[in-house]
Amino acid sequence: MTDANDSIIGVILAAGKGSRMSLLPTRLPKPVLPVLGEPLLYHQLRAMASVGIRHVYIVVGERGYEVVREIERLPGLGLSIDYVEQGETHGIAHCVGCLEPHIDRPFLLFLGDIYFVAPRLKDMLQEFEPGGVDAVLAAFEESSVEAIRRNFCIVTDETGRAMRVIEKPRRPRSMVKGVGLYLFSPVVFDAIRRTPRTAMRDEYEITDSIQIMIDDECEVRVSMCVENDLNVTGPRDLLDINLDAMRHEGAVRFLGEDVELGDAAVVEEAVVGARARIGNGAQVRRAVVFRDVAVPDGARIEQAVVTENGVCRVE
């Protein structure tokens, strides 16, 4: 593999509507909701920068201007970012297909609503080093059948080559769970053009495109480079992801820059964004508080997400 600065492009899909997040009273789209005080998308950009990628396309849709605003206010991480607007949304494969005019080399693709722990991310790029590989699928061994049923499983041969990918299987044929991280050569666009719409969701599934590549005898590999992944679908997920990320950092609470704690304020097992104020005697436990938010004196916030527009309690 040559220098990743030139040979691999980054792509993040951030165009989804996120209808199940509508209960959260915020102007922010899912991909830029805060995780440890930074947009989820920014964590993904940092991961791409860490493996040497220097050029990234971010696909935006509804409220795309909010995505742009949240990313552009932060340090650039040495990345050149282009934003591509997707009009109609017809699934992941359709979204990726919109990028064909812009991409002429392999690209590392992240779904913009996933928080992942992938300490061996560079392994995916190294799979391309020998040449002849058209796709690498990030995965890990999942212990929960229900988690597999909500995602997709990968059936491999003894060499680690993918032989079958099955979207949301009722009876998983493998406990190797695919996650929303992929490395594709431009050959994937040929498969996307031949991908049919699904009967259930009337969308173009990227797993169907991958199966077409496998059936065409393309070399599709699996990289067990991920330790965990968490999808942001609803407010509870946002709370769980923040608390999980906090614990992964070895912390019992997280306070952003210039957080103001009032007299006798208590913050336990919680994530508080920059410049937030926790009022006198307020108690914040198992919660996420957005940046610049003021928690009133004496408030009791527990099992909740506090946004710029109000409190969303989650069970």
pLDDT for res 1: 41
Report the alpha-carbon distance of residue 22 to residue 108 in Å, rounded: 29
User: Are the C-beta atoms of 91 and 203 separated by less than 8 Å?
Assistant: yes
Report the alpha-carbon distance of residue 277 to residue 273 in Å, rounded: 9
pLDDT for res 159: 86
| CATH fourth-level superfamily of 4-231 | Spore Coat Polysaccharide Biosynthesis Protein SpsA; Chain A (3.90.550.10)
Helix, strand or coil, per DSSP, at residue 180:
strand
Report the alpha-carbon distance of residue 84 to residue 11 in Å, rounded: 10
Report the alpha-carbon distance of residue 288 to residue 240 in Å, rounded: 9
User: Are the C-beta atoms of 263 and 279 separated by less than 8 Å?
Assistant: no
Report the alpha-carbon distance of residue 79 to residue 100 in Å, rounded: 21
Nearest of 285, 240, 281, 245 to residue 262 by alpha carbon: 281
User: Are the C-beta atoms of 293 and 271 separated by less than 8 Å?
Assistant: no
Helix, strand or coil, per DSSP, at residue 43:
helix
pTM: 0.91
Nearest of 8, 14, 85, 6 to residue 44 by alpha carbon: 14
Nearest of 154, 149, 146 to residue 169 by alpha carbon: 149
Domain ranges of the chain: 4-231, 252-313
Per-residue pLDDT of the chain (315 residues), as tens digits, is 434 446 899 999 998 666 677 789 999 999 999 999 999 999 999 999 999 999 999 999 878 899 999 999 998 899 999 999 877 777 899 889 989 999 999 999 999 999 998 889 999 998 877 678 999 999 998 888 998 898 899 999 988 899 999 988 999 899 999 998 999 999 999 999 998 887 666 788 999 999 999 999 999 999 999 988 888 989 999 999 999 999 988 999 999 999 999 999 999 999 999 999 999 999 999 999 999 999 999 999 999 999 999 999 997
pLDDT for res 2: 39
User: Are the C-beta atoms of 300 and 308 separated by less than 8 Å?
Assistant: no
Ramachandran angles phi, psi of 234, nearest 5°: -140, 175
pLDDT for res 199: 62
